[in-house]
């Protein structure tokens, strides 16, 4: 009896667990754009999340022109150490895995490409400018050794990988498949998943069989944080944020209490300096831009007849061109951004300067100083002492010459709340009433 109960319970629980839906899933993410700290953080986070969720695989839909060596190496390390299979899929048609993207693609447990894509051109380039011969050779040899080790670890064509570094060769998807650079050419994600079903891959923990049939596919989009960081990591956006920061802080300093311009400017500058951490910043260029802003400000207090403004324009143009010094186009400022920025900055400060000069030259309209130059009427005889009527008020006054009561007078100055005047008839200029 006891045996019957035991077997009944055993069969029940066996059927129960078999009938339970599998928690396994395939996670799919997109990594498009420059390989930088933002992309590295995004991919690394999803690799950890996939491991925590015990996903059956992580698919990275990949399209990149290349990027930073340090970020690439971070991604490669995380892929190699991953507890779940990583599939790098260069897609869609027209996409590429260039430069740093070659290393990442080759490091994947399964490397795939869509038709009409290409891979290659992995020769290292100094992002801070042209390297000397010795440094160039060192960088090239290091990159060649690194990519060969990755290719050999994954059983891929290490000879071609070395050529991609040393000779910057680039090949199509069909050529990559033929040369054993990648494993699969698939027109779309569904085809890719069907192709890798029951495929065995070598993991750091041993062999793993990938199951894709009937398994849920979850697409994960970048969070708001990663989207914002990705946008501001663009050199043109970083440049604009920096200028907006300078404008906001300058406006706050010249108009204390406005608050919003100062807060906006401070936030913009902080975001700009974060972006500079992900970009090849030439600090000589940054200092030239700061010098330009200082020259524009000095023009407000020092009337140089435009010399300081011209110097500021020149410094800003040169500094903008030097700010991100790199042979790589995606790390350079566009002239379509620089020229309008310089023109708008010049106009902004020129307008500010003009208003400041006008304010300095404008005759005071209020207070005691506002009385100077006004016309009044002598209420009594005025010489050493007397009274005059001006602006609806009676003032004590004196004059260097006798003035009779009822005569028009012009105010010359104010001393100790006493007016010095002269007779209007002796002043051949137009007066204010």
> Using one digit for the tens of pLDDT, what is the confidence trace for 109-141?
999 999 999 999 988 876 555 556 777 788 899
| Cis omega (within 30 of 0) for bond into 92 | yes
Contact (CB, 8 A) for 82 and 88: no
> In whole angstroms, what separates CA 304 from the centre of its chain?
35
Would you call 75 exposed, middle or buried from its count of C-beta atoms within 10 A (0-12, 13-18, 19+)? buried
In-domain check, residue 8: no
pLDDT tens for residues 267-319? 999 999 888 887 878 888 889 988 988 888 787 677 777 788 888 889 988 99
Same domain, 247 and 203: no
209: which strand partners? 200
Tell whether the model's pLDDT for residue 16 goes beyond 80. no
What is the token pair recorded at 250? Answer: 């300058």
How far, in Å, are 253, 262, 293, 375 from residue 256 at the CA level?
A: 6, 9, 19, 36
**Residue 341 and residue 324: Cα distance in Å, rounded?**
16
Residue with tokens 């700010």: 323
Q: 315 and 337 share a domain?
A: yes
Q: Is 99 among the residues known to form the active site? A: yes
Q: pLDDT tens digit string along 197-251?
A: 999 898 877 888 998 888 899 999 888 888 888 888 888 999 999 999 988 888 7
Question: CATH number of the domain that 390 lies in?
Answer: 2.40.50.140
Q: What percent of the chain has pLDDT over 70?
A: 85
pLDDT at 433: 35
For 23-34, the pLDDT digits (tens) are 568 999 999 999
Same domain for 353 and 406? Answer: no
User: What is the per-residue pLDDT for 276?
Assistant: 85
What is the pLDDT, as a whole number, of residue 357? 59
The confidence band for 354, taking pLDDT boundaries of 50, 70 and 90, is low
Q: Domains in the chain: how many in total?
A: 3
pLDDT tens, position by position, 408-424: 888 888 887 788 888 88
End residue of a domain, out of 222, 254, 271: 222
Find the distance separating the first CA and the last CA of the chain, reported in whole Å. Answer: 122
What whole-number percentage of the chain has pLDDT above 90?
37
Instruction: Judge if 177 and 132 occupy the same domain.
Output: yes
In a domain, 105, yes or no: yes
Distance, CA of 66 to CA of 11 (rounded, Å): 56
- Which is the catalytic residue, given 138, 194, 216, 413? 138
Q: In this predicted model, which residue has the larger pLDDT, 352 or 98? A: 98
Helices (H), 100-132: 100-107
Joined together, the tokens standing for residue 62 give: 């990949």
Q: Are 88 and 122 spatial neighbours (Cβ–Cβ below 8 Å)? A: no
Average pLDDT value over all residues in the chain: 83
pLDDT for the residue 1: 52
Residue 203 pLDDT? 86
Domain containing residue 194? 22-222
Same domain, 176 and 192: yes
- Looking at the fold, whether 192 and 324 belong to one and the same domain comes out as no
Active-site hit among 99, 233, 268, 326:
99
Last residue of some domain: 191, 222, 253?
222
Please tell me whether residues 166 and 43 are part of one structural domain.
yes
User: What CATH number corresponds to the domain at position 116?
Assistant: 3.90.226.10
pLDDT tens-digit profile of 174-205?
A: 999 999 999 999 999 999 999 999 998 988 77
Same domain, 239 and 90: no
Task: For residues 82 and 209, state if they share a domain.
Answer: yes
Q: Tell me, yes or no, whether 123 lies in a domain.
A: yes
The predicted pLDDT at position 366 comes to 54
**Count of CA atoms in the C-beta half-sphere (13 A) of 429:** 8
Active site residue 213: no
């Amino acid at each position: 009896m006891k045996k019957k109960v035991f077997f009944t319970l055993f069969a029940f629980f066996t059927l129960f667990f078999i009938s339970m839906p599998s928690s396994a899933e395939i996670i799919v993410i997109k990594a498009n754009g420059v390989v930088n700290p933002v992309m590295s953080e995004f991919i690394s986070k999803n690799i950890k999340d996939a491991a925590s969720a015990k996903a059956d695989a992580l698919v990275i839909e990949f399209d990149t022109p290349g990027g930073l060596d340090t970020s690439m190496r971070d991604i490669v390390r995380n892929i190699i150490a991953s507890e779940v299979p990583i599939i790098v899929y260069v897609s869609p048609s027209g996409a590429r895995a260039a430069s740093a993207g070659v290393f990442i693609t080759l490091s994947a447990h399964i490397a795939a490409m869509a038709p009409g894509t290409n891979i290659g051109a992995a020769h290292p380039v100094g992002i801070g400018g042209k390297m000397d011969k010795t440094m160039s050779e060192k960088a090239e040899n290091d990159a060649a050794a690194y990519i060969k080790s990755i290719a050999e670890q994954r059983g891929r064509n290490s000879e071609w990988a070395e050529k991609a570094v040393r000779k910057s060769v680039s090949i199509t998807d069909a050529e990559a498949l033929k040369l054993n650079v990648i494993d699969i050419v698939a027109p779309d994600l569904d085809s890719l998943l069907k192709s890798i079903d029951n495929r065995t891959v070598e993991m750091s923990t041993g062999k793993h069989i990938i199951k894709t049939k009937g398994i849920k596919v979850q697409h994960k989009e970048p969070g708001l944080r990663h989207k914002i960081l990705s946008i501001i990591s663009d050199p043109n956006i970083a440049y604009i944020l920096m200028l907006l920061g300078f404008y906001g802080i300058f406006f706050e300093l010249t108009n204390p209490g406005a608050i919003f311009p100062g807060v906006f400017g401070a936030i913009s500058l902080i975001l700009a300096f974060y972006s500079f951490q992900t970009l090849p910043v030439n600090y000589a260029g940054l200092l030239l831009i700061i010098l330009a802003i200082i020259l524009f400000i000095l023009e407000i207090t020092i009337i140089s007849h435009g010399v300081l403004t011209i110097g500021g324009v020149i410094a800003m143009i040169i500094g903008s061109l030097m700010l991100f010094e790199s042979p790589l186009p995606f790390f350079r400022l566009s002239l379509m951004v620089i020229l309008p920025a310089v023109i708008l900055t010049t106009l902004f400060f020129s307008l500010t300067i003009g208003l400041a000069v006008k304010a300095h030259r404008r005759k005071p309209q209020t207070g005691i100083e506002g009385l100077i130059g006004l016309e009044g009427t002598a209420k009594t005889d005025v010489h050493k002492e007397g009274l005059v009527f001006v602006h609806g008020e009676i003032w004590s006054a004196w004059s260097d010459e006798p003035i009779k009561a009822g005569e028009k007078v012009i105010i010359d100055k104010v001393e100790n709340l006493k007016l010095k005047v002269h007779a209007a008839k002796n002043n051949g200029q137009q007066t204010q009433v």
